């Protein structure tokens, strides 16, 4: 290595890596070799922005690139870095961004790699990809998950807590005996009533999740979709779920994983920046539920919000 290269390595390398986006980018490329488009989906940035950062990192010799067909693939290779740069990277790689952001990068990376694996299955992979497109054109998106709701017991009474404009209540109404949609916001309930006007088995009620307008042991299940993070004391709502559920009933929560979007407090009135599912599950046990199970939902590359999870608790 000549003197100029040493100067580039010593100064330009550190300058190139001193940027949070480029740190995240290197961390992702250390895990997998990706195209510009794939990196853009993982980091949720325009391809032009990603290309600019990749060029900076490539010029400073932090990453490698190679052509594969019409695509250019990029990779961060730790063993090919000079020893000094390697030491710097190993000390900062997990400080590239807040932990919650890094976890979301990892989830989106897995989703991108999963999509790539599906598309690489030679003939059947191509046919499957085409068939997914055909099905979407014929039937739209979401019909599979909506159809699976038919697994619900048809005699159930379900309380949809914090129903909003009635999205969940509408889906549930086709598969259970009765849905009671509850929200403390009259404007939300008016929108829900309009949406659910054709659903004869849905009743809308005004109510607070800490004091539900329901008798004891009156419903088979409760749903709470993207609501708990608005409540100052989620434990109060969980205890109310326990009060209104029949023995053997089920509570379902769908909410955000812990994240760092502080602006959500001001722009959308969030009280909590997501939840740790296990800590939330222990709140259900404290309220008298027998067991709980949480599942982290797969991250979609086009989704711009925090990761999601579901938690089901048996009473």
CATH topology of domain 143-314: Rossmann fold (3.40.50)
Mean pLDDT by 10 residues, the chain (315 residues): 47 82 92 90 90 92 86 89 86 80 90 74 45 69 84 97 94 96 92 94 96 98 96 96 98 96 89 96 97 90 86 97
Q: What is the pLDDT of residue 4?
A: 39
- pTM, entire model: 0.64
In CATH, the architecture of 3-138 is Orthogonal Bundle (1.10)
Q: Which of 194, 191, 199 is nearest to 169 (CA)?
A: 199
In the chain, CATH 1.10.10.10 sits at 3-138
In the chain, CATH 3.40.50.150 sits at 143-314
Distance of alpha carbon 77 from alpha carbon 154, whole angstroms = 55
pLDDT digits (tens, 9 = 90+) for 97-138: 788 888 889 999 998 888 777 665 444 444 444 556 666 777
Q: How many CA atoms lie within 13 A of 226 on its CB side?
A: 11
Q: What is the pLDDT of residue 99?
A: 83
pLDDT digits (tens, 9 = 90+) for 40-67: 999 999 888 999 999 999 988 899 999 8
Residue ranges of alpha helices (H) inside the chain are 3-7, 13-17, 20-31, 36-43, 47-59, 83-92, 99-119, 122-139, 143-148, 167-173, 186-195, 234-244, 263-267, 277-286
């Amino acid at each position: 290595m000549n003197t100029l290269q040493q100067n580039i390595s010593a100064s330009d390398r550190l300058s190139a890596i001193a940027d949070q986006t480029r740190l995240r980018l290197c961390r992702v490329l250390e895990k997998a070799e990706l195209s510009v488009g794939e990196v853009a989906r993982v980091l949720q940035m325009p391809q032009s922005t990603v290309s600019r950062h990749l060029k900076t990192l490539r010029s400073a010799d932090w990453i490698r690139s190679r052509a594969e067909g019409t695509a250019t693939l990029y990779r961060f290779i730790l063993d090919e870095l000079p020893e000094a740069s390697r030491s710097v990277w190993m000390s900062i790689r997990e400080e590239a961004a807040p932990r919650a952001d890094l976890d979301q990068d990892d989830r989106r990376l897995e989703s991108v790699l999963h999509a790539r694996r599906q598309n690489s299955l030679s003939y059947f992979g191509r046919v499957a990809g085409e068939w997914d497109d055909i099905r979407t054109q014929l039937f739209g998106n979401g019909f599979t998950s909506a159809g699976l709701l038919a697994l619900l017991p048809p005699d159930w009474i379900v309380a949809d807590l914090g129903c909003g404009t009635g999205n969940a209540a509408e889906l549930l109404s086709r598969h259970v005996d009765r849905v009671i949609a509850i929200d403390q916001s009259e404007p939300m309930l008016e929108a829900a009533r309009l949406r659910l006007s054709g659903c004869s088995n849905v009743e809308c009620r005004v109510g607070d999740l800490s004091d539900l307008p329901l008798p004891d042991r009156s419903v088979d299940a409760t749903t709470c979709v993207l609501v708990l993070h608005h409540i100052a004391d989620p434990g109060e709502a969980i205890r109310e779920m326990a009060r209104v559920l029949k023995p053997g009933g089920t509570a379902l929560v769908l909410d955000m994983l812990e994240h760092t979007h502080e602006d959500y407090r001001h722009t959308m009135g969030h009280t909590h920046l997501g939840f740790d599912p296990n800590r939330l599950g222990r709140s259900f046990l404290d309220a008298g539920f027998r067991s709980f199970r949480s599942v982290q939902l797969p991250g979609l590359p086009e989704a711009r919000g925090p990761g999601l999870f579901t938690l089901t608790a048996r009473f």
